[in-house]
């Protein structure tokens, strides 16, 4: 195969790990040079025998590995990874946001999922994102401020999984992030670039401006050592009091004050919303593919259902024989993705609020849907519409548009016992609501709801409602063979997460790539009618072929952040996305 991606290796910035002085992290960074906000850095598959972490920043991966080396479980390492990511990669995730976790328990051989998605405040109405004339707000008019902030779920999720599977003390898992916040970390090239892109939004809040920008109002330079004593204090309270140290008391009061104090765009989050938040442990949603079970997060995430639909449709075609360079493969995958997204838009939302069809993964239904693709040309716009899956007292609601942003993070952890955490975590847009409180960024996840609550008098499934969790595309995934895990992966990327994950699974299963090769594969995605081809990659050579099929096409950046681990007999193989600064580390 000729899958050259014109990868550019970036020079190592030795100051990246100034704050830790860690030889291991330095070695990891030497092997995986960090990239700027745009561009890629060549990476190689990483091998280990007993345990591994693949995460979006070397400092976070090292923190997780440190916990595993101390005998901690994947649940313990998860807390260290997440709390360090919230410090060094605040644009993507943190304790002011939400997350979905797919968990494999090695002792029982069972999968479960933890729903730490944000909830809408009790005081919201379906008109939350409408202006005085009843028209939807412009996206960033809704985002920047308190209006977009939902009740964060990450800290309760961390506590829940630690209670289930933690081996070290709760306080021990938080120490790496507390230490790093106190001593400081070096601003990475990616953080510096994204701070520059966000001028005019993030720097509107005085607290955020003072933390992220210098006295001249410019983004902190790459290599600047940045300390966060407020974050260290918050984590110390959480270490002492558990999750209650976040959801009640002074931290909760600071969150609510920041949400309500925004001039011009205050929010509705209350202390009661925080104190009543609950993580929900749910059954995993699994779909068959080529003798495997592809398992992930169900509603309020649309991830596992939509990935499962795509795979269910393409399973009726011989993608292995076609290969990744044949445009016919991408015609099939692209139209399967469009059909799955049509069902997603019509039916999928928080199932605690909206009754959904029980047959979205029905194999006969997906075979019928795949027959629509059995043709030589692309489906026309009129031919791409929601199907009629088997029903069981479901509510028919109208399609709605929500604008998911791609600022999220994914990490995978495998521990010595074989427990696996596959977790996607987010504050939604880059730097969330652009509001900081107690040392961390607050999410803007409420803008994942459809801004228009109804169309032509019919309710939109993903409308805003009190206590509801907005629909997500986050797709943390664990793939099983005969009940045993073989792959764990996921990605950021807004609604592009779904094709990123589905296409990576196709590359692993049909095209027999290793995890790094599958993640490196150039992206081609088509969710809503336009086929986007990843700029600067060999995928551009397919654009004319896709246009000849009848697709609308465009070339653009597709900045995934795929991280994954393959679980092999007696070995682990980890990989990190060359489009970001992540690494895989293991022993």
**Angle made by CA atoms 366, 369, 371, in degrees to the nearest 5:** 115
448 is in an annotated binding site: yes
241-297 pLDDT, tens digit per residue, is 999 999 999 999 999 999 999 989 999 999 999 999 999 999 999 999 999 999 999
Listed range (40-44, 109-113, 314-318) with the worst mean pLDDT: 40-44
Confidence band of 163 (pLDDT split at 50, 70, 90): very high
- Whether 493 and 467 have beta carbons less than 8 Å apart is answered as no
Give, in order, the Cα–Cα distances in Å from 528 to each of 96, 160, 327, 541.
31, 37, 19, 22
Q: What percent of the chain has pLDDT over 70?
A: 91
What is the structure's pLDDT at 35? 34
Is 525 annotated as catalytic? Answer: no
- Whether 460 and 399 have beta carbons less than 8 Å apart is answered as yes
If you average pLDDT over residues 550-576, what whole number do you get?
Answer: 97
What is the 3-class SS of 121-154, one letter each residue?
Answer: CCCCCCCCCECCCCCECCHHHHHCCCCCCCECCH
Residue 200 phi/psi, 5-degree rounding, is 95, -10
DSSP classification of residue 445: G
494 is in an annotated binding site: yes
Confidence band of 41 (pLDDT split at 50, 70, 90): confident
472 is in an annotated binding site: yes
The catalytic residue among 83, 151, 408, 447 is: 408
What does pLDDT average to over the chain?
Answer: 91
Per DSSP, the residues of 10-60 read PPP-GGGGTTT--HHHHHHHHHSPPP-SSS------EEESS-EEEESSHHH
- pTM of the entire predicted model: 0.92
Domain range summary for the chain, segments of one domain joined by +:
185-226
């Amino acid at each position: 195969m000729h899958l050259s991606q014109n990868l550019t290796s970036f020079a190592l910035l030795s100051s990246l790990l100034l704050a830790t002085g860690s030889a291991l992290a330095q070695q990891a960074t030497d092997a995986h040079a960090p990239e700027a906000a745009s561009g890629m850095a060549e990476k190689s598959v990483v091998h280990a025998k007993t345990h591994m972490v693949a995460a979006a920043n070397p400092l976070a991966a090292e923190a997780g590995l440190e916990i595993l080396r101390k005998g901690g479980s994947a649940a313990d390492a998860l807390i260290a990874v997440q709390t360090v990511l919230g410090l060094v990669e605040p644009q993507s995730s943190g304790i002011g946001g939400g997350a979905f976790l797919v968990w494999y328990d090695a002792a029982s051989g069972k999968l479960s999922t933890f729903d730490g998605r944000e909830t809408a405040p009790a005081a919201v109405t379906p008109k939350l994102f409408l202006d005085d004339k009843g028209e939807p707000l412009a996206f960033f008019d809704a985002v920047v401020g308190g209006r977009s902030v939902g009740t964060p779920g990450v800290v309760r999720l961390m506590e829940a999984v630690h209670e289930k599977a933690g081996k070290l003390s709760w306080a021990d898992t938080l120490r790496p992030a507390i230490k790093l916040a106190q001593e400081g970390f070096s601003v990475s090239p990616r953080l510096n670039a994204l701070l520059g892109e966000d001028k005019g939004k993030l720097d509107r809040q005085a607290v955020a401006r003072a933390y992220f920008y210098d006295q001249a109002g410019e983004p902190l330079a790459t290599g600047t050592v940045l300390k966060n004593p407020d974050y260290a204090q918050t984590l110390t309270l959480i270490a002492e009091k558990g999750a209650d140290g976040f959801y009640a008391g002074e931290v909760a009061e600071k969150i609510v004050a920041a949400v309500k104090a925004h001039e011009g765009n205050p929010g509705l989050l209350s202390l009661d919303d925080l104190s009543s938040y609950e993580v929900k442990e749910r059954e995993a949603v699994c779909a068959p593919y080529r003798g495997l079970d592809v398992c992930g997060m169900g509603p309020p995430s649309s991830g596992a259902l939509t990935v499962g639909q795509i795979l269910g449709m393409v399973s009726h075609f011989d993608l292995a024989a076609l290969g990744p360079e044949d445009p016919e493969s991408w015609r099939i995958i692209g139209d399967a993705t469009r059909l799955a997204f049509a069902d997603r838009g019509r039916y999928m939302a928080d199932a605690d609020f909206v009754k959904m069809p029980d047959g979205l993964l029905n194999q006969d239904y997906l075979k019928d849907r795949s027959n629509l693709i059995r043709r030589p040309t692309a489906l026309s716009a009129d031919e791409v519409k929601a199907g009629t899956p088997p029903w069981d007292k479901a509510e028919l609601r109208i399609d709605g548009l929500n604008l998911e942003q791609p600022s999220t993070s994914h990490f995978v952890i495998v521990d010595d016992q074989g427990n696996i955490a596959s977790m996607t975590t987010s504050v939604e847009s880059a730097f969330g609501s652009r509001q900081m409180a107690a040392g961390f960024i607050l999410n803007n996840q409420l803008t994942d709801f459809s801004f228009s609550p109804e169309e032509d008098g019919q309710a939109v499934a993903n409308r805003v409602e009190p206590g509801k969790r907005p629909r997500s595309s986050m797709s943390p995934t664990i793939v099983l063979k005969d009940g045993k895990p073989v792959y764990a992966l996921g990605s950021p990327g807004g609604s592009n997460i779904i094709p990123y994950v589905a296409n990576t699974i196709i590359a692993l299963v049909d095209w027999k790539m290793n995890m790094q090769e599958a993640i490196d594969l150039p992206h081609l995605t088509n969710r809503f009618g336009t086929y986007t081809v990843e700029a600067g990659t060999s995928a551009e050579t397919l654009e004319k072929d896709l246009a000849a099929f009848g697709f609308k096409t465009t070339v653009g950046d597709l900045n995934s952040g795929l991280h994954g681990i393959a679980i092999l007999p007696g070995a682990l193989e980890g990989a990190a996305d060359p489009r970001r600064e992540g690494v895989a580390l293991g022993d």
